Amino acid sequence: MKSLVTIDRDENGAYIAECTSIPGCVSHGQTEEEAPRNVQEAIQECFEVRAELGMPLTITTRQVEVPV
């Protein structure tokens, strides 16, 4: 299963990777390459916990256009 993740830098320079379709599923890394590798483990663990609790594995995400 493929999951969309966002990658951003925090104020200390660490890279934060977040899975957009699983609330609270976040990890980090010291490099932009390390962060997505680390979030893969977090995604797997989130799947396991959500399955144990009888929750859907992911939530629905959509793109919306916001006029600026």
Give 2's pLDDT tier (boundaries 50, 70, 90): confident
Nearest 5°: the CA angle 24, 27, 28 is: 145
Asked whether residue 67 is domain-assigned, the answer is no
Asked whether residue 35 is domain-assigned, the answer is yes
Asked whether residue 34 is domain-assigned, the answer is yes
Asked whether residue 41 is domain-assigned, the answer is yes
Q: How many domains does the chain have?
A: 1
Statement: residue 60 has pLDDT above 90: no
Q: Which domain holds residue 47?
A: 5-52
Asked whether residue 60 is domain-assigned, the answer is no
Asked whether residue 65 is domain-assigned, the answer is no
pLDDT, residue 1, reads: 82
> Which residues share a beta bridge with 26?
18
Phi, psi of 5, rounded to the nearest 5 degrees: -125, 150
Report the SS3 class of residue 65. coil
Asked whether residue 58 is domain-assigned, the answer is no
Cβ 61 vs Cβ 18: under 8 Å: no
Report the SS3 class of residue 16. strand
